[in-house]
């Protein structure tokens, strides 16, 4: 498991200088905890690998991995751009003080309202995902008398090695424009000819939680071929290529590859291309989500009931579950954990950590070795910073836990926990129900 910035003192687990047992007591559980220093270390690594010495390049943090105003403020302060995929994420970015020109809007089937919002704020890039969207965007821009800076998202038709639900680059995908010449080229022309669209280039994203750079490299080659085709057909050299995200992290035994492993060969490939084709000098953009925040997050739970089914399995139930982390149920995702209050005790018992949702599939960790858990213990689950909070729900009308940001021993709320009043605040009893 990722042990970055963790230490054990007097049997208690510390993370970024904070005693996690004390955090559980003070802020309550379940709780999402994020180390600002881990996020900042990832941002620094990205600057070094991709931005320093490459002034045109940009890193757009994929907000879908973890989105709240505090996170986007941190991303902004670290000099990143932000990639949003909904009106809600866009609104959060604006609320966090992100300059509009550093916001990039991705996603298939953006609604008319979302596109109007994006054009209204004058955001930096709109990554158009479909042919209809280009028409709709042009209409909105014309009505608003505002130009939009656009990339076209293509489906490169490569299959990355990851869970099927998070592989997006293969041809049979709901994302992106297929690469058949008679499909893509007329749209490039349309974008180039439009007085309301400033066509800048191409975008692809091959998948998520990747440890091998071959899918990225294959997709880049396909994109560069298309760039040449566009140049030959219309005399326009694309000015920007967005390579998406997808860089893998360590949940249990995986080995996170440094950003350089992915980025150096991609940048080298583009340099070679530019050397061979002097007209080209595109800016490169990446959209890391998981790799910026995943290992920065720890989730804290309190153990409640335990149940040993002799000869079958030992369960330890915690006060959270699939509503605060759907990933194990949805993807079979695996996590590692420790008891934060007994962190130096030998792990002598194999237990399955389950949540408290009314659902047998509400298992957070299957068969993990821990010191025999008992009621009141604090379970710390590692590498939970990506797609946990952001995919949380109110299933069983459970409240979404709060988020605490920690740094050098200091802990503060970044998102307050929901309350029962909050989750019923929008409920309405229709008049027709009260009339009888």
**Residue 416 DSSP one-character state:** P
Among 156, 157, 244, 401, binds ligand LLP (CB under 6 A): 244
Residue keyed to tokens 């007085």: 195
When asked if residue 62 is in the footprint of ligand LLP (CB under 6 A), the reply is yes
Residue 202's φ and ψ, nearest 5 degrees, are -125, 150
Residue 267, CA distances (Å) to 156, 160, 203, 243 in order: 18, 19, 15, 10
x-or-dash string of contact with ligand LLP, 98-117, rule CB under 6 A: --------x-----------
Euclidean distance between CA atoms 110 and 150, whole angstroms: 14
DSSP of 56-74:
T-EEEEEGGGS--HHHHHH
Euclidean distance between CA atoms 223 and 221, whole angstroms: 5
Active site residue 141: no
Among 2, 168, 213, 341, binds ligand LLP (CB under 6 A): 168
Residue 292 C-alpha from the chain's centroid: 8
Catalytic residue among 68, 141, 354, 358: 358
- Pick between residue 208 and residue 341 the one whose CB is nearest to ligand LLP: 208
DSSP of 256-318:
PPPHHHHHHHHHHHHHHHHHHSTT---EEEE---HHHHGGGEEEEEEEEEEEEETTTEEEEEE
Among 78, 287, 319, 336, binds ligand LLP (CB under 6 A): 287
Shortest Cβ 234–ligand LLP spacing (Å): 25
Within 395-434, the residues that bind ligand LLP by CB under 6 A are: none
When asked if residue 387 is in the footprint of ligand LLP (CB under 6 A), the reply is yes
Shortest Cβ 65–ligand LLP spacing (Å): 5
Q: Which two tokens stand for residue 123?
A: 């955001």
Q: Is the Cβ–Cβ distance between 408 and 18 less than 8 Å?
A: no
Shortest Cβ 407–ligand LLP spacing (Å): 23
- Pick between residue 166 and residue 228 the one whose CB is nearest to ligand LLP: 166
Residue keyed to tokens 């804290």: 300
Within 292-331, the residues that bind ligand LLP by CB under 6 A are: 327, 331
- Select from 89-97, 132-140, 288-296, 340-348 the region that touches ligand LLP (CB under 6 A): 288-296
x-or-dash string of contact with ligand LLP, 179-208, rule CB under 6 A: --------------------------x--x
Shortest Cβ 207–ligand LLP spacing (Å): 8
> Residue 351: is the preceding peptide bond cis (ω within 30°)?
no
Residues contributing to the site for ligand LLP (CB under 6 A): 62, 65, 83, 106, 166, 168, 205, 208-209, 244-247, 287-291, 327, 331, 387
């Amino acid at each position: 498991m990722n042990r970055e910035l963790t230490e054990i003192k007097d049997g208690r687990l510390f993370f970024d200088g904070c005693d996690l047992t004390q955090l559980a007591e003070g802020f309550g559980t379940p709780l999402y905890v994020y180390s600002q220093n881990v996020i900042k270390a990832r941002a620094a690594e990205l600057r070094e690998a991709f931005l320093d010495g490459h002034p045109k390049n940009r890193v757009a943090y994929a907000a879908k991995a973890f989105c709240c105003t505090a996170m986007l403020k941190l991303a902004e302060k670290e000099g990143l751009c932000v990639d949003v995929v909904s009106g809600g994420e866009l609104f959060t970015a604006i609320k966090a003080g992100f300059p509009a020109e550093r916001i990039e809007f991705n996603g298939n089937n953006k609604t008319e309202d979302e596109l109007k919002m994006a054009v209204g704020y004058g955001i930096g890039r709109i990554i158009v995902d479909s042919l209809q969207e280009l028409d709709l965007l042009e209409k909105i821009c014309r009505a608003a008398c505002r130009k939009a800076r656009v990339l076209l998202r293509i489906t490169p038709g490569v299959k990355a090695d990851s869970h099927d639900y998070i592989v997006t680059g293969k041809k049979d995908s709901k994302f992106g424009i297929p690469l058949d010449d008679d499909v893509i080229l007329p749209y490039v022309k349309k974008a180039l000819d439009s007085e309301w669209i400033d066509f800048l280039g191409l975008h692809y994203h091959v998948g998520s939680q990747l440890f091998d750079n071959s899918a990225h490299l294959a997709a880049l080659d396909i994109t560069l071929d298309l760039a040449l085709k566009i140049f030959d057909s219309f005399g326009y050299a694309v000015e920007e290529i967005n390579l998406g995200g997808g860089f893998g992290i360590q949940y249990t035994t995986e080995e996170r590859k440094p950003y350089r492993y992915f980025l150096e060969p991609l940048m080298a490939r583009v340099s070679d291309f530019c050397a061979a084709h002097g007209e080209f000098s595109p800016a490169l953009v990446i959209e890391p989500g998981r790799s910026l925040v995943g290992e920065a997050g720890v989730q804290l739970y309190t153990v409640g009931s335990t149940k040993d089914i002799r000869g079958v399995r030992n369960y330890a139930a915690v006060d959270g579950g699939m509503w605060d982390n759907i990933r194990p149920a949805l993807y079979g995702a695996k996590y590692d954990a420790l008891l934060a209050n007994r962190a130096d005790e030998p792990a002598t018992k194999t237990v399955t950590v389950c949540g408290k949702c009314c659902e047998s599939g509400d298992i957070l960790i299957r068969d993990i070795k821990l010191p025999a858990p008992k009621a009141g213990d604090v379970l710390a689950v590692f590498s939970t910073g990506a797609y946990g909070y952001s995919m949380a729900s109110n299933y069983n009308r459970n409240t979404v836990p709060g988020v605490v940001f920690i740094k050098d021993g200091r802990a503060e709320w970044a998102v307050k926990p929901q309350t029962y009043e909050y989750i019923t605040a929008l409920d309405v009893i229709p008049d027709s129900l009260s009339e009888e």
